[in-house]
Structure 1
Amino acid sequence: MSGPLVVVGDTLLDIDVDGNADRLCPEAPVPVVDVGREWHRPGGAGLAARLAARSAADVVLVTALGGDEGGARLARLLAGEVELCALPLEGETVRKTRIRAAGQSVVRLDHGDGRAAHEPLDARTVSVLRGASAILVADYGRGVASHPQIRQLLAETDAPVVWDPHPRGGPPVPGAALVTPNDSEAAKFTGEPGTPEELAARLRVEWAAEAVAVTVGSRGAVLADGTGTRAVPVPHAARVPASVRPDTCGAGDRFASAVAAALHDGAALPDAVAAAVESAARFVAAGAATALSEPAEPIRPPEGLSGFELAERVRRRGGRVVATGGCFDILHPGHVTLLRRARELGDVLIVCVNSDESVRRLKGPGRPVVTAADRVRVLSALESVDAVVVFEESSPVEVLRTLRPDVWVKGGDYAGADLPEAEVIREGGGKVVLVPTVEGYSTTRLIETVSNG
């Protein structure tokens, strides 16, 4: 039986404070943010471990946790998703707070000076590191990756080690299977300018690593290994359209965790890097780390209200309103996956559905197959859907102008399209999130299959 995927590194508490800013402070030309809601999630190695748990069944996180409220909060957020091997933390839990207005970051506030105490490891932590099938080091420069005993165990292991470095941390142990700096970090590590290809090749030699992958944002990554240096681009289907300004928070953690999970499953390194490039791109398109946030105080949407009433009620309580739309004629697994992922992005999901006449204008005289009344009935029965709104127009622009969702979700197959509703979403202070579609499912294709059967 293979061992676990082990994540080693510093865990931080990430906090997003969401609000609106429509005026300036009278004492200084800075925006005044009226706070609506506060969201918490594990950051650093904690985020990497949660992301790894999406791809691997058995994930163990070796990290340092404090005895303060921040440490307790992190333990609660991680409980049930990964197994914890907690080292002692000296000082206060590090908290990184982003203040955001209408989805845009205004300022970040950093608190806490906590560092991992370099005390002898307990027997369980030693056993976990020795029995790992793959190890991801998510170094955030707070002492876990520089722990002498941990470094010794990492140097001795036969498991593939993926090392996500940090400018404030130490160098990776020699022989790492893959080191994953981004392009700006790579330039700092070498101390010299150069192309991503040049930086990757230099660092591979300097760190005595089997391979180095320098990530280059929306362009993917550059991989340097024993066969040479080459680009690994983002697949077309996973690209975020240029008109969308995505939140990239946590993209590096998603890349590193996806590589480690693929190596844990036995993939060859080039295949693992290609899969990780795609995973990171889809992660950003789906809302990045904010999609994993949890409210400081949970909101339970009230039942029995119309979609508009529900949106207003949840918004007044500081919640995040998510909406999506479409014909939803013959509900299939692709629809269900889209709705489930959309619901994970906020406190309430409202589905905007084309009326029968609207579907006929868009799809032709033979559609819809299922009437609007029945489509509403089926959608409303799904656990992920809180309310359904039917609109008569060909586009949901007018209904969205009234609904004013914080997040508008569309399938990734719209990546190259100019969404007519995007402007009204941004005018209302919301953002558009593209969720990857499930390949092979299409209502039109289903109808054609039945007709030709």
Structure 2
Amino acid sequence: MSRGPLVVVGDALLDVDLEGRAGRLCPDAPVPVLDELAEHARPGGAGLAAALAATDGHEVVLVSAIAADDDGERLSGLLAEHGVRLVAVPHDGSTPVKRRVRSSGQSLLRLDSGATGHLGEVPEAAVEAIRTAGAVLVADYGRGLTSAPVVRQALETAAATVPVVWDPHPRGAAPVPGVRLVTPNRDEAAHFAGDVGADARTSLGTVSARAAALVERWSVHAVAVTLGAGGALLSHGESSPSVVPAPRVGASDPCGAGDRFASAAAGALATGAVTTEAVQAAVLAAARFVAEGGAASFGRAGQGAAPQVARGLARVEAVRAAGGTVVATGGCFDLLHAGHVATLEAARALGDCLVVCLNSDASVGRLKGPARPLVPQADRARVLEALEPVDAVVVFDEDTPTEALRRIRPDVWAKGGDYAGVDLPEAALLREWGGQSVVLPYLQGRSTTGLVETAAERVGATR
């Protein structure tokens, strides 16, 4: 475990979403009119990174320049609500605010405000926080804090003894020597590396060459270039890089994914992970964050739901907002076989997205006996998510998926099996919101129990 808190150093912003319903066009211009506006505020920039790390259970201290205005006071309050201890550096400008106008999960417009200003004297408390950190995350948004000589000196000293992760910005300062991991995205890596890698035969080769060059240029241990839906490429220099793929997610708003990646990587390093493990954890965390709705969903009611539930709901809401049909099915899916695939394909054909309600390990054990499941729930969910018919997986702990279905509220509940002439157990529940339950043909002769029995017989025959 780390010897001190995770200290985030960087530029905190105030993010505000204005969300409304777009049901008509303005009569004097071809633009949507938003009704029923609601405002949602959250920490942004380094503030979001700090709040995310605190949500992960870390003790978090944020060192950031905070302006003495109403927006700065509001930002400080939001950080405190998320359990982040703030060490403020004086700033004579106004608080940077990013306001996004949104409808049906899509951003329509972003309005930025906040005048530039000058940093005041960096307080000794900021230097002390960095000095006593168990790990440090630099979340640079190019507003000058990481250029302050006293801050850079403290960060360079820290990098010699504890893990430091640096999320850079094109307008920001270069990482200090000795940083454990730098996390630019593809465009940022191209900016910092210039023409390096331009003659590579593949885009992956280009990214690899640039990451290796940046490791040497910055004198850091490793560079992980984030590739969006492609995951991340991790380079330690001239050796062959590692590519960490990202799981497929059914969402399109990546806002905040970089902060989620960097905060997860820093948190993993703080608790003893090696760099490769930290990048793997960061890729999964960023994918989950985007699947749950990204920054727009952070801190909302229901955010504490199981990640699988939130992931399914994000996909459901996107399809529902577009007027599509949401289909759900369920089961244990312990040893995946042709019968399962037939059911999933048939269910997906009934609508525009398919959510699989998957029994947790505890639920399977109660239903099938102590010897089951044969495959743990994380692996079962991963296999299902990789299948083309499946858009999302929701894991539930109860014996029946009643609560998961109440949250998803599918238009169609499809179940494979022999229910001919019998109402499905979930049919009454579906009728509460006008949904329809249906029975799908079951592929005869295929079952997990049958596979287990066949395997046991063949093992016994060879003894």
Q: TM-score w.r.t. structure 1 length? A: 0.67
Q: CA deviation at 1:26?
A: 4.7
Query: How far apart are residue 264 of structure 1 and its match?
Result: 0.2
Counterpart residue type for residue 285 of structure 2: S
Seen in structure 2, the aligned counterparts of structure 1 residues 257 and 324 have a Cα distance that, compared at 3 Å, is farther
From 269, 272, 275, the counterpart of 2:275: 269
Give the distance between the partners of 1:154 and 1:224, measured in 2 at CA. 22
In the alignment of these two chains, the number of paired residues is: 351
Given that residues 47 and 62 in structure 2 are in contact (C-alpha distance below 8 angstroms), is that contact kept between their aligned partners in structure 1? Answer: yes
Q: Does 1:362 align with 2:413?
A: no
**1:65 partner letter:** I
1:353–1:388: 8 Å Cα contact kept in structure 2? no
Q: Choose from 108, 111, 114 the match for 2:110.
A: 108
Deviation at 1:324, TM superposition (A): 10
CA distance in structure 2 between the partners assigned to 1:115 and 1:66 by the alignment = 9
Rate the CA distance shift 1:216–1:365 in 2: closer, same or farther, 3 A. same
Distance 1:116 1:325 in 2: 54
**Which segments of 5 or more consecutive residues in structure 1 lack a partner in the other structure?**
296-322, 344-348, 377-386, 396-443
Cα distance, 1:33 vs structure 2: 3.3
User: Does the CA contact (< 8 Å) of 2:91 and 2:119 recur in 1?
Assistant: yes
- Distance in 1 (CA, whole Å) between partners of 2:432 and 2:293 is 23
Partner SS, residue 170 of structure 1 = coil
The residue aligned with 1:234 is 245
- The one-letter amino acid paired with 1:362 is G
- Check conservation: 1:5, 1:56, Cα contact below 8 A: no
Give the conservation status (yes or no) of the 8 Å contact 1:129–1:153. yes
Q: CA deviation at 1:29?
A: 3.8
Conservation of the 8 A alpha-carbon contact between 1:99 and 1:106:
yes
Query: For the Cα contact (< 8 Å) 1:326–1:353, is it kept in 2?
Result: no
Partner of 1:191: 194
Among 271, 281, 286, the alignment partner of 1:280 is 286
Q: Supply the distance in 2 between the matched residues of 1:54 and 1:178 (Cα, whole angstroms).
A: 22
Q: Which deviations, in whole Å up to 9, do the C-alpha atoms of 1:48-84 show, x marking residues without a partner?
A: 0111123342111111222222112112211142211
The correspondence of residues 315-326 of structure 1 with structure 2, limited to 5 A, is none
Partner of 1:256: 262
The equivalent of 1:71 in structure 2 is 72
* Cα drift, residue 365 of structure 1: 4.0
| Deviation string, structure 1 residues 316-359 (Cα, Å, up to 9, x no partner) | xxxxxxx996667989673269xxxx99xxxxx7453799xx67
Identical columns (%): 45
Aligned to 2:252, what secondary structure does the other structure show?
Answer: coil
Are 2:175 and 1:172 equivalent residues in the alignment? yes
Change in CA separation of 1:393 and 1:370 when aligned onto 2, cut-off 3 Å: closer
> What is aligned with 2:85?
83
Task: Name which one, 1 or 2, has greater alpha-carbon Rg.
Answer: 2
| SS of residue paired to 1:185 | helix
Is 2:438 the partner of 1:394? yes
- In the alignment, which residue of structure 1 is the partner of 2:226? 215
Cα distance, 1:144–1:351 mapped onto 2, change above 3 Å: same
Query: Kindly tell me: are residues 134 and 36 of structure 1, through their superposed partners in 2, closer, same or farther at Cα, counting changes over 3 Å?
Result: same
Code of the residue aligned with 1:352 in structure 2: it is R
Aligned to 1:335: 396
CA contact (8 A) 2:60 2:84 kept: yes
Deviation at 1:169, TM superposition (A): 0.8
RMSD of aligned residue pairs (Cα, Å)? 3.9
143-152 vs 19-28, which deviates more?
A: 19-28
| Bigger RCO (CA 8 Å, 6+ sep) | 1
Between the aligned partners of 1:445 and 1:258, the Cα distance in structure 2 is 37
Q: 2:247 matched to 1:246? A: no
CA contact (8 A) 1:60 1:83 kept: yes
Q: What is the letter of the counterpart of residue 295 of structure 2?
A: A
Q: What residue is the counterpart of 1:200 in the other structure? A: 211
- Distance in 1 (CA, whole Å) between partners of 2:10 and 2:299 is 20
Unaligned runs of 5+ in 2: 199-205, 302-325, 331-356, 364-394, 440-446, 453-463
Give the letter for the 1:197 counterpart.
S
How far apart, CA to CA, are the structure 1 residues paired with 2:327 and 2:55?
24
* Contact 2:359–2:397 (8 Å) recurs in 1: no
Letter in 1 for 2:189: A
Contact 2:21 2:36 in 1 (8 A): yes
Distance 1:105-1:127 versus aligned 2 partners, 3 A rule: same
Report the TM-score, using the length of structure 2 for normalisation.
0.66
